[in-house]
Structure 1
Amino acid sequence: MTTSPAGRRAVAVALLIPALIALALWAFAWPAARTAPRDLPLGVAGPAPAAAQVEERLAGQGDAFEVHRYADESAARDAIEDRTVYGALVVTGQGPKLLTATAAGPAVAQLLQQAAEQMSATGARPQTVDVVPAPAGDPRGSGLASSVLPLALAGIATGAAVSLLGLRGMRAVALLTGTAALVGVVAAGIAHSWLGVTTGNWWAVAGVLGLSTLAVAGAVAGLGALLGRPGIGLGSFLVMLLGNPFSGAASAPELLPEPVGAIGQWLPPGAGVSLLRSVSFFDGAAAAGPALTLAWWAALGLGAVLLGGALRDRNRPAAATADRRPAPVG
């Protein structure tokens, strides 16, 4: 029995859609359902004998925590502000003290609070000090986490538009760069000036938002220039179905299943969130890694746009010459 082309397309669609749904559910639901600390950097400070006991209790929780030892509370605070650790347990004469940084991730701060209570011999809630608090306009960090998807969509839309319009060379690069810069300014106006989701230097925040958009737009447009429409789909897939759920924006990379957290930090959404936290709340501490990641994505994407345009221009004269050849006689 021969199936018509329309029938084959219908079967392909019927199989493709469930496959895409399964992939989306895996990418978004699996990391969220398996959220737990995995080598989460945590400081321990205080007198050596007491601090050693705390370390032993933390070691009893398997690979949940990566313990960093500090001489005193001041050193532990500095480590939190430098984004070396997410928090610290300080042993004092008045009892244990927990240092947290909700700006680095409210979910992590809550998890550390629960862990400190479980480790307490009496189960009492330890004294908690928020060293780097989240902004008053976004105390639970939901606004910052929600910014990942709009920026990703803006980058995808910009890169796809440049590719579908057939723009090449420096015109395409100029449009990608200019649009990303405008997106950064508009996003900073909403997130920083209006909603109070971010703090710190306004222009630095706008620069991070713009660079995050450019990294996505460059990747999509670059793949589109080299591979055509399939390249646009590939770039969108990397950003939406991997970069967005693997970013750790709502929690932290160390709370996601391995190697999801690490993969997410190598993609623009994850690197963008990490850089935004550093610039907005921690005076640029630990900003070099994510900034370099975004810069590489943007540079490689724009380079691919220029390369794709050059290859098309070089192939065009050959195609035009072939069209002008006289038809064979006979």
Structure 2
Amino acid sequence: MSSSSLSPRRRIAAVTVLVPALVALALWAFAWPAARTAPRDLPLGVAGPAAATAPVEQRLERQEGAFALHHYADEAAARDAVEKREVYGAIAVTGQGVRLLTASAASPVVTELLQQAVAHRTAASGTPVTTVDVVPAAARDPRGAVLNTSVLPLALAGIGAGVAVTLLGLRGTRAVAALVGSAALVGVVAAALTHSWLEAVPGNWWAVAGTFALAALAMGAAVAGLAGLLGQAGIALGTLVIMLLGNPFSGASSAPEMLPEPAGAIGQWLPPGAGVSLLRSVSFFDGAAAAGPVLTLTWWAALGLGAVLLAGALKERTRDAEPTSERGLAPVG
């Protein structure tokens, strides 16, 4: 049933119910993760002899479910694990005391958490603690604000591209070309602003631009593909998934392991979360742990573009079949 066929009373009722429902959904999606931010199986390394690390592990394990501990033989191995994004930080027990290895580039929030939950607890036992930021955030953006706030504009760019392609009536290869071209330009503009101008997202310029472009393409293709198959309902569904789920569940402002379950896991399977994770990897960690996010974004882009091509082919077939049907129904003689 189309909206034009609804009576005025039903239209009023629909608006009256729909708007509060959307507000409730948005508040749930954004406020719930923010209000329940806490470590949940946060990967943390412990390095040193078993006898020396046992008291540290016991203190950490008292916070049940907060940390997933990984054991390393020495500080060098733990440092390597931090640089490869296997853990967010590590506690190395040495003869000179305790070293807390962190990576503020991975998450400034997690770095502060580790300093409070680990360093302060260890210091209470009388053991000296030294904090070393193994992979620091950008000097121009130590809080990671630019990277965190880039999620929303990128989501808007992807949704906007998908909606524009649909409303302009582009189909098939033309729609694909428009989506790819738009995503490429989004990548160039985003890299120029965040990398070249603000100097907040370092790393290889082309890798940063490619990450922005791939994320924008994944979101734009998803919206356009759903719209091609489902019509206006597809636009609404794509926007809902990307904006009201992908954005708050991305873990950009903290970390996926800091979000309530299963929000963190869901967020990493959606383009905004995968895009942020990939951007951190290529910008600060020389591409470490980039394979998962790349595959996620590539699947979204491929499935979305495939849906666009399929929808275009179906419409072309329907249009070509209409004259034949009409001729079959026409009277003979």
> Shorter-chain TM-score: which interval?
over 0.9
| Percentage identity across paired residues of the two chains | 70
1:86 maps to which of 88, 100, 111: 88
Residue in 2 that maps onto 1:313: 316
Structure 1 residue runs of 5 or longer lacking an equivalent are: none
Relative to the length of structure 2, the TM-score reads: 0.95
Residue in 2 that maps onto 1:51: 53
2:281 maps to which of 268, 278, 281: 278
Aligned-partner residue type, residue 96 of structure 1: V
Q: For residues 157-196 of structure 1, what are the structure 2 equivalents within 5 Å?
A: 157-196=160-199
Q: Is the 8 A contact 1:212 1:269 kept in 2?
A: yes
What SS does the aligned partner of 2:124 have?
Answer: coil
Q: Summarize deviations over 1:111-170 as a string: whole Å, max 9, x none.
A: 001111442252778311000000011100111000000000000000111111111111
Q: CA deviation at 1:272?
A: 0.2
Alignment size in residue pairs: 326
Q: Which moved further from structure 2: 112-121 or 16-25? A: 112-121
What SS does the aligned partner of 2:46 have?
Answer: strand
1:105 maps to which of 104, 107, 110: 107
**How many Å separate the matches in 1 of 2:142 and 2:16?**
44
Aligned-partner residue type, residue 23 of structure 2: I
2:32 maps to which of 30, 33, 36: 30
**How many Å separate the matches in 2 of 1:123 and 1:168?**
67
**How many Å separate the matches in 2 of 1:283 and 1:121?**
33
**How many Å separate the matches in 2 of 1:282 and 1:12?**
49
Q: For residues 106-255 of structure 1, what are the structure 2 equivalents within 5 Å?
A: 106-120=108-122, 122=124, 126-255=129-258
Q: Is the 8 A contact 2:82 2:134 kept in 1?
A: yes
Q: Summarize deviations over 1:302-323 as a string: whole Å, max 9, x none.
A: 0000000000011112223344
Q: Summarize deviations over 1:241-274 as a string: whole Å, max 9, x none.
A: 0000000000000000001000000000000000
**How many Å separate the matches in 1 of 2:231 and 2:7?**
24
Q: Is the 8 A contact 1:117 1:123 kept in 2?
A: no
**How many Å separate the matches in 2 of 1:206 and 1:118?**
40
What SS does the aligned partner of 2:105 have?
Answer: helix
Q: CA deviation at 1:5?
A: 1.1
Q: Is the 8 A contact 2:100 2:119 kept in 1?
A: no
Residue in 1 that maps onto 2:293: 290
Q: Summarize deviations over 1:88-128 as a string: whole Å, max 9, x none.
A: 01112232211100000000000001111442252778311
Relative to the length of structure 1, the TM-score reads: 0.96
**How many Å separate the matches in 1 of 2:79 and 2:152?**
32
**How many Å separate the matches in 2 of 1:178 and 1:117?**
49
What SS does the aligned partner of 1:102 have?
Answer: coil
Structure 2 residue runs of 5 or longer lacking an equivalent are: 1-5
What SS does the aligned partner of 1:120 have?
Answer: helix
